[in-house]
Amino acid sequence: MATLLMCTLLFSAGTISNAQPSAEKVNIVLFYVDDLGWKDVGFMGSTYYETPNIDKLAGEGMIFTDAYANAPNCAPSRASLMSGQYTPRHGVYTVASSARGKSATRKIIPTPNKKTLDLHKKTIAERLQAAGYETISIGKWHLGQPPVGGPQQHGFDANIGGSKAGHPKSYFTPYKNEFLPDGPTGEHLTDRLASEAISFIEKKRSRPFFLYLPWFAVHSPIRGKADLIKKYAAKKTHGDQSNPTYAAMIESLDQNIGRILAALDSLKLAENTVVIFHSDNGGMRSVTSMAPLRGGKGMLYEGGIRVPLAVRWPGKINAGSRSSEPVIGMDIYPTILRLAGLEAAPGYQVDGKDLSPLLLNEKTSLSRNAIFWHFPAYLQGRAKGARDPLFRTRPGAAVRMGDWKLIEYFEDGERELYNLKDDISEKNNIAHTHPERADKLHQAMVEWRKLTNAPVPTTPNPDFKQK
């Protein structure tokens, strides 16, 4: 298991090394799925959900078994994906307020949260746009409201459906979305987004393009097509994966990814198109299972942050290849730049790591020491696997270094240490029996916080009532 990122020397970022402009620029398609859990697709082990098109996509490229979201919920993950930076650099830590839950149950004052991505951030779309790419965002944005902070203010030539909203008002027309005209009676949102994507590809295929498709699915409200719900209701379940409506949503997603891939084939664009499949955070424990991982969306346990990731580029990435290297969503930013023959903007800090050496079989590991998560906020809600009966997450942070993972809680400084190789389910906190290891990981976190100016909330909440 390779290691990840700790201090200034080890945490090298910014420029993309060895980037060589290509004569024919590669197209980029980024499928960013909302709330898709680690094992919600066949290529990661599900036997209940049927995802033949996604599995085929993954099988034709590289699968990352130890891939992570940038955060345990959606808005910060998206901000880090677009900016290529860790959350302390852009200040989007959570969804809505960082002071969620009843005030009397919050021991400290959390760090204030930003709800929009600052315009001075150099997004991946801006870099591609400046290089002559046609850029479009189709689906969920959740980083600001047009015309002030929408996709078109962050490097996208066009925006279909994207706003500050974190979920759709309806998965069937009328959509009640001012940036997506309603379709014919009965039209399904996931079908519609795929149709828009195919139309874009057909019209823009003469120029290099960046198609960012952040699906609204499979976020709540949990709504699916009646025929697919009926199909899964009659199917044998697999453990906690047993919700037929959620399964129907996943199959609709799979069908439409298949439609887009078929369009690339028919237009003879597949060999010059990099396709990336990723999720913004772990799945919702109320509808699916990340077993054997602990927890789900909103938690710093593996079930909340470990997600599917696969990358395909026919003829360049070996089909059927796999990597157990720990990687994170921010890595997509410098990876796309390298594959497109580009570099980061001069002086712009990129925290992600270029994955192309792994993808192109140049290396088997990355030269970084650790991956970090910083969540100085409260996220209420009872959930199986949570540490606290009132909160999915209290203000805290996490680091993965090799096989080891440390979680720290800011309210009281308590630590949890796990060896993921031996205990992927995070059942046994061994911080007290391995204090030197816990101290080493914690010191890495301290150094990283200095490097990124990460705030650690400590001010007592006067409303807090000790039980």
Residues belonging to the active site: 74, 142
DSSP alpha helices (H): ranges in 205-243? 226-233
Residue type present at position 84: G
Checking phi first, is residue 246 left (phi over 0); if not, alpha (psi -120 to 50) or beta?
Answer: alpha
Q: Which helix (H) or strand (E) holds 359?
A: helix 356-359
Q: Are strands 209-214 and 134-138 parallel, antiparallel or unpaired?
A: parallel
Cα(276)–Cα(63) distance, integer angstroms: 10
Cα(186)–Cα(199) distance, integer angstroms: 20
**What is the separation of C-alpha 255 from the centre of its chain, rounded to a whole number of angstroms?**
21
C-beta of residue 125 within 8 angstroms of C-beta of residue 137: yes
CA distance from start to end of the chain: 43
Burial of 402 (0-12, 13-18, 19+ CB in 10 A): middle
What tokens were used for 239? Answer: 């453990």
Place of tokens 């195919």: 198
Q: Give 171's contacts (C-beta < 8 A, 6+ positions apart).
A: 188, 189, 190, 216, 217, 221, 223, 224, 249
Cα(265)–Cα(262) distance, integer angstroms: 5
C-beta of residue 293 within 8 angstroms of C-beta of residue 424: yes
C-beta of residue 172 within 8 angstroms of C-beta of residue 183: no
C-beta of residue 42 within 8 angstroms of C-beta of residue 52: yes
Render 59-85 in DSSP notation, one character per residue. Answer: HTSEEETTEE-SSSSHHHHHHHHHH-S
Burial of 276 (0-12, 13-18, 19+ CB in 10 A): buried
Place of tokens 């913004």: 280
Q: Give 203's contacts (C-beta < 8 A, 6+ positions apart).
A: none
